[in-house]
Amino acid sequence: MSDTKKKKSASSKAATPVTDAAVAGTASTADGSVVAAQVADASEPLALGEARFLTSEALGWLVEGLAAAGTPAVAPAWAGDAGRAAGGVGDAPETEYRVVSGAAELALGERLPRLSLKQFFLPPTEVLFSYKRNGADIELTPAQAARDTVVLGARPCDVAALPIVDKVMNWDYADELWNARRAATTVFSLSCKVEDDSCFCSAVFLGPAALKGSDGRLTPVDGGYLVEAFTDKGAAFVAAHADAFADLPDASANSAQAEQFRAAARERVAGNLQVDHGRLRDWLDHHFDDPFWASLGPRCNGCGVCASVCPTCHCFDIVDEPESVGSGVRRRNWDTCQTCVFTLHASGHNPRGDQNARYRQRIEHKFLAYPLKFGDVLCTGCGRCSRACPTGQDMAEILTAIDARAAEDAS
């Protein structure tokens, strides 16, 4: 056993007084309260007002109305690209979250959009401020404020990621850029039919109809969607666009149909992965030098596609870009811990020298560090990292392998 059993668990460091309970099993935040928000979606809070009905056509008018009013409406849409050239034709056409302006673009309930909703709250590139030199002085102009936006039909795994990342974005210092977009955006999720066996939202305290982070929820029923609002923002949106929403044609039948849809989805995803997070964290905390990591690194290209497509990965780089002599912008861009330059010191020293160490960081940050520090697992089980990985790294398989080792340790 080359692991460092003798070393005290990393959670007892003096910096953040996280109770040992955080390791034992229940994920508790820094102040120790059990994470209520992480309750699986089975026990649903009460909807505000009774459910409404949105026909598919009305959804189209709603989107066009929003576009006309200059309010960006983000929804899953058919990918507007030319399609891959090298691969054989085969997969169903890809979808992406996009600011949509017409009903024809909408692709709710089709394939899971390839990039997550994160791009609308932490864009791939974003101006932090611009600078302009005049004489000896420098003039700084803050970034553009966010505009009111509506998200319609986003998957629960994408929506749940938002409150999870809220925690790091508001830890001590508040990231106003992220917060401004969060405040300005009303999010209606879509009950998910489960993409494939790489999904494991039910294994990370969520589910295919989880409410975490959503202002309201659409659930497919005959002829359209059953619409529920859960926050004031959601109710306000439904009220403001009352003409698009109608009474449920047959309230009890529709509700039963909606619940049946959600139950079937929960059933479908349940079998994909079961993990004991307490045991998992304990294993991660004591197996920093375990040979298991050397079995993951070799296959990994170190590209970080997994971080790009991940709804909860939020690491970023900050760069200056001169636009012309004496003026330019400072930008924040997506970054990933999987590249070799991420932790490279100016002296050439690199604490994470190879891909084994970098891949370990990805798993440890999501399933040990973030839960200990912020009380949420930094993963919503969308399975995109497994689908997007060019070399076939499979998150569900990795978590199963660690859980098995953890079970062995515990016995």
Partner 1 sequence: MTELQDTARRLLDEGEVKVVIGWEEGRRGVRPVFVTSAADCDRLVFDTRCVHNLATFLNPRRSQVASLGKAALVVKGCDAKAVAGLLREAQIERDGVVLIGVRCGGVVGSPVAPDAPALTAETVASRCFACDVREPGLVDVLVGDAQPEPPGSGTLDERIAALDALGPDERFAFWTNELSRCTQCYACRQACPLCYCERCIVEKTEPQWIETSPHPRGNFAWHLTRAQHLAGRCVGCGECERACPVGIPLALINRKLQQVVLELYDYTVSDDPAVPAPIGAYATDDTQDFIK
Partner 2 sequence: MADFEPRITAFVCNWCTYTGADLAGTSRLHMASNVRIIRLPCTGRIDHMFIVKAFERGADGVIVSGCHPADCHYTAGNYHARRRFGVFRELLSFLGIDPKRVTFSWVSASEGGKWADVVNSTVERVRTMGPFDSYHGLVGAASPADDPFASFETPAGATGDSAAAPASHTGGAS
Partner 3 sequence: MTVTQQTQSDSPAPQAASIYQPDLVVVESIVDETPDTRTFRLRFKDEAKAASFEFRAGQFGEYSVFGAGESTFCIASPPTRKGYIECTVKAAGKVTGQLREVDVGDVLGFRGPYGNVFPVDDWKGKNMVFIAGGIGLAPVRCVIWNVLDLRDQYGDVTIVYGARSVSDLVYKRELEEWAARADVKLVTTVDPGGETPDWTGEVGYVTPVVEKTAPSPDNAVAVLCGPPIVVKLTLPVLERLGFADDAIFTTLENRMKCGVGKCGRCNIGSVYVCKDGPVFTAAQIATLPQEF
Binding site for partner 1 (CB under 8 A): 79-91, 94, 96, 114-115, 124-125, 197-198, 294, 297-305, 307-309, 317, 319, 321, 331, 333-334, 336, 339, 341, 353-356, 386-388, 390-394, 396-397
Of residues 22 and 117, the one with the C-beta less far from partner 3: 22
Per-residue contact flags (x/-) with partner 2 for residues 60 to 79, judged by CB under 8 A = ----------x-x-x----x
Q: Tell me the C-alpha to C-alpha distance, in Å, between residue 151 and each of 49, 105, 108, 223, 385.
A: 20, 14, 12, 21, 23
User: 284, 367 in Cβ contact below 8 A?
Assistant: yes
Q: Where are the beta strands (DSSP E) in 58-111?
A: 73-78, 95-100
Binder among 33, 125, 144, 301 for partner 3 (CB under 8 A): 144
- Binders of partner 3 among 279-318, rule CB under 8 A? 288, 314-318
Residue 72 CB, shortest distance to partner 3, in Å, is 13
80 in contact with partner 3 (CB under 8 A): no
Question: What is the b/e burial string over 211-250, where b = at least 16 CB atoms within 10 angstroms of the residue's CB?
Answer: bbbbbbbbbbbeebbbbbbbbebbbebbeebeebbeebee
User: 74, 152 in Cβ contact below 8 A?
Assistant: yes
Q: Which amino acid is at 356?
A: N
- How far apart CA 169 and CA 162 sit, in angstroms, is 10
Q: Tell me the C-alpha to C-alpha distance, in Å, between residue 230 and each of 44, 50, 234, 236, 334.
A: 10, 10, 6, 10, 31
Total of chain residues touching partner 2, rule CB under 8 A = 35
What dihedral do alpha carbons 215, 207, 179, 34 form, nearest 10°?
A: 110
237 in contact with partner 2 (CB under 8 A): no
Q: Which amino acid is at 97?
A: Y
What's phi and psi for 160, nearest 5 deg?
-65, -25
Of residues 142 and 298, the one with the C-beta less far from partner 1: 298
Q: Which option in partner 2, partner 1, partner 3, none does residue 72 bind, with CB closer than 5 to 8 A by kind?
A: partner 2
List interacting residues with partner 3 (CB under 8 A): 7-16, 128-129, 131, 133, 136-145, 147, 168-169, 171-177, 180, 288, 314-320, 322, 326, 328, 330, 332, 335, 337, 342-347, 349, 351-352, 357, 361, 364-365, 368-370, 372-373
List interacting residues with partner 2 (CB under 8 A): 70, 72, 74, 79-80, 96-99, 101, 105, 115, 119-120, 123-127, 129-130, 132, 141-147, 149, 323-324, 327-329
